[in-house]
Structure 1
Amino acid sequence: MDDQIELNRRINETLEGMALAIFQDWFVDFGPVRRAQAGTTDPTAVMAGLTPDRQRAAGLAALFPMSFGSDGLPVGWLETEIGDLIKAVGGTTPSTRDDSLWSPGLHHWATPKDLSGMNDLALFDTSRQISDAGLAKITSGLLPVGAVLLSSRAPIGYLAIAQVPVAINQGFIGLLPNKEFGSAYLYCWCKANMNKITANANGSTFQEISKKNFRPITSAVPSSAKLISAFGEIAEPLFARIVSAAQENRTLAETRAYLLPRLMSGEVQVSPPQVGGA
């Protein structure tokens, strides 16, 4: 079980790295545009070997312009505020002096601490839950499955994608995916722009990035939604595999925790493997 958990963790690390590398090449370094402008004509090479299928590579390459404008961006691309692309929300902590806001605990409620020990990006559970009355105190309500959670203080930069509807405390900025900009794009956007995010933080006691300072952060966005969609078609399956492996790790860890004390006490015994056969 330990070996499988570790294998899944390493696979997830690789899959996330693949998605981040593609995002960096397409939307930060503008690799396909630079290669085309440098005279590369083979679509497979323009796409840096992303796919050996020449027809598919040609379709992807055609989504990128072949040169840069006077602003240094690929022709037709615009520097756009993240707040103009998606909805970014915050949360709060219901009064801990009012038990009715916490009991019965019916809804997941996340704090940055829930993300501190995570080995992957999938958030399945939270250490605390709130009641219906507690949820009513949080104006952003329950964020949907697929929402990207960015810790905005203590520290800045924890990231997760909600796998359950979840409310958040004031230590988060929640990014809500839409039809154009999905979870994978938003997660990779945060990773690629983390320096900008931290640079826009302030505070005397501890650094914090407010929604007001987060929403104006800009990045280059293509004029065609087809390119954003193409990235999603590649990255979302990678993220789905990450979530699947993360869920398997949860099951393996729970099974290990159940069996280990029983094996040690002798309550459960494992027969040695049979050698040979009839």
Structure 2
Amino acid sequence: MSYKLPFSEIAEVVMGQSPTKENVNTEGMGTPLLNGPTEFTARNPIPVQYTTTGKKFSKPSDILFCVRGSTTGRMNYSDQEYAIGRGIAAIRGKGGYPTPYVRAVIEHNLDRLLVAATGSTFPNVGRDLLSNFEVEVITPEEAVLASNLIEALEDKVESNRQTNQTLEQIAQALFKSWFVDFDPVKEKIAVLEAGGTTEEAELAAMSMIAAKSSEQLAELKQSKPDAYEQLAQTAALFPSAMQESELGEIPEGWSTPTLKSLSDKISKGTTPRKPDLVNASDQAIIPFIKVKDISDDSEINRVSLEAIPASIHEKTLKRSILTSDDLLFSIAGTIGRVSIVDEDLNNSNTNQAVAFVRLLDKEGFLELVYLTLKSSRVQGEIASKVVQGVQANASLANIGDIKIMCPDNDLLGAWKKIVHPIIKERRTLSKLIRELVALRDGVLPKLLSGELQGK
């Protein structure tokens, strides 16, 4: 059974108060300071500013709630004490209502809260509005049970997100070592130039690839001879000399083809014409990806996706119909966001701010090109070629001209065997995260109304 209460009956609200600029630093002196959602992540903020004269503070496990401007309503959890500026409120449960339950109540009523918020252009949520805002709740005892389920789902999502971040970091570290710093090649060169033998050079490359000492390699040889032999075969594929190229010195025998030469198609989307949208007789069911939907960590936010009618998708916008494993690269507004089209977004579409790359050999080159597009070299190159206008933009020619660092086929195959499972697991976990979030969103109204009981 549910009933209505003012929000102040289930939560304590601490409105932020900003310190003066003179008392803000980035050297880590004092308490971490939050003024808005700039430092927010999926769960906990990453502070960049500090203050020794904080006026209002959050406590660990509080909700950090944005109360001003276009980001009003965004939330994170406070993982430590923060000094909070005027753009943030710290909210915690009271009267027996757990904080995760209170956050769920806010989330469920957020649209209604934003409508009630004041502001000429963007909403501003003040203390009085929050305190007097009427919400439908269940008993504290029921709220505890509901909170347990909400926390379990949120913790599982966060655990998977952290695993995904680790997998991405591993893939990027391997890419940098092999295709940017050329570590295995340089290890071989260093040993040979010091008068070492070919065998010693190979062992040095194996040590670099596996991040193991010579003693650990000897142990691996005894305990897992097959793994040792596989490592030795991989190390042997790296050359022991460098050559000149357009990108400077690269390993001998490697090449730097353009992305265009490796692609079946490089194109971009189009924004549907308003008359076409108005006159379309069929429903808007085709996902339409924009830059805003692509996150910095390469995820495509399904919740925010707009949709277009299939009639427009198949006719006016047929040149930009996306297929699984197409690569996306944002070329207008926020430039340089990269993602891979998953199976559930096969046959989706995109607008002119997003370029898509369809590789000739997706199986062989997908991970290599994906990580290349995310590399600092490519991000810097594209940024340097951006044309500033009403909106900053890069051209499709810029994308096609990107050089891809390519080893021979045998080494590319060895790379694929190592990195493909990492990226595959990352994409599988991303799908699981979406399913868990959908499950949480689906049960949330029933939990809040008391229709579904937690345990």
- Counterpart of 2:267 in structure 1: which amino acid? V
Contiguous gaps of at least 5 residues in structure 1 = 272-278
Which residue among 30, 35, 39 is the counterpart of 2:187?
A: 35
Q: Distance in 2 between matches of 1:41 and 1:69?
A: 19
Q: In structure 2, do the counterparts of structure 1 residues 251 and 207 end up closer, same or farther at CA, with 3 Å as the change threshold?
A: same
Q: Shift of the alpha carbon at 1:123? A: 6.4
Which residue among 431, 440, 446 is the counterpart of 1:262?
A: 446
Q: Shift of the alpha carbon at 1:146? A: 0.9
Q: Distance in 2 between matches of 1:69 and 1:56?
A: 27
User: 2:368 matched to which residue of 1?
Assistant: 185
Q: Shift of the alpha carbon at 1:122? A: 5.5
CA offsets 1:85-129 (integer angstroms, 9 cap, x no match): 22322111121221345832343221112214x765366673223
Contact 2:276–2:312 (8 Å) recurs in 1: no
Q: Distance in 2 between matches of 1:200 and 1:93?
A: 24
Which residue among 316, 337, 353 is the counterpart of 1:158?
A: 337
User: 1:143 matched to which residue of 2?
Assistant: 322
Q: Distance in 2 between matches of 1:131 and 1:204?
A: 32
1:168-183 correspondence runs (5 A): 168-179=350-361, 181-183=364-366
Which residue among 373, 376, 389 is the counterpart of 1:204?
A: 389
User: 2:428 matched to which residue of 1?
Assistant: 244
Q: In structure 2, do the counterparts of structure 1 residues 101 and 185 end up closer, same or farther at CA, with 3 Å as the change threshold?
A: farther
Number of positions where the alignment pairs a residue of Structure 1 with one of Structure 2: 269
Contiguous gaps of at least 5 residues in structure 2 = 1-152, 192-200, 221-226
Larger RCO: Structure 1 or Structure 2 (Cα < 8 Å, ≥ 6 residues apart)?
A: 1
- SS state at 2:269 partner: coil
CA offsets 1:134-186 (integer angstroms, 9 cap, x no match): 33223534221111111111100222111121222101111113326433222
Does residue 1:49 correspond to 2:233, yes or no? no
Q: In structure 2, do the counterparts of structure 1 residues 232 and 136 end up closer, same or farther at CA, with 3 Å as the change threshold?
A: farther
- SS state at 1:41 partner: helix
Q: In structure 2, do the counterparts of structure 1 residues 102 and 5 end up closer, same or farther at CA, with 3 Å as the change threshold?
A: farther
Larger Rg: 2
CA offsets 1:23-58 (integer angstroms, 9 cap, x no match): 111111111111111113315214243896221111
Q: Shift of the alpha carbon at 1:11? A: 0.4
User: 1:228 matched to which residue of 2?
Assistant: 412
Does residue 1:83 correspond to 2:288, yes or no? no
Contact 1:102–1:129 (8 Å) recurs in 2: no
- Counterpart of 2:258 in structure 1: which amino acid? E
Contact 2:313–2:321 (8 Å) recurs in 1: no
- SS state at 2:411 partner: helix
Percent identity for Structure 1 against Structure 2: 26
Q: Distance in 1 between matches of 2:422 and 2:300?
A: 13
The CA RMSD measured in Å over matched residues stands at 2.4
User: 1:276 matched to which residue of 2?
Assistant: none
User: 1:274 matched to which residue of 2?
Assistant: none
Contact 2:272–2:312 (8 Å) recurs in 1: no
The alignment's TM-score, normalised by the length of structure 2, stands at 0.55
User: 1:275 matched to which residue of 2?
Assistant: none
Contact 1:16–1:239 (8 Å) recurs in 2: yes
The alignment's TM-score, normalised by the length of structure 1, stands at 0.87
Q: Shift of the alpha carbon at 1:245? A: 1.2
Q: Shift of the alpha carbon at 1:221? A: 2.2
1:53-72 correspondence runs (5 A): 53-71=227-245, 72=249
- Counterpart of 1:41 in structure 2: which amino acid? E
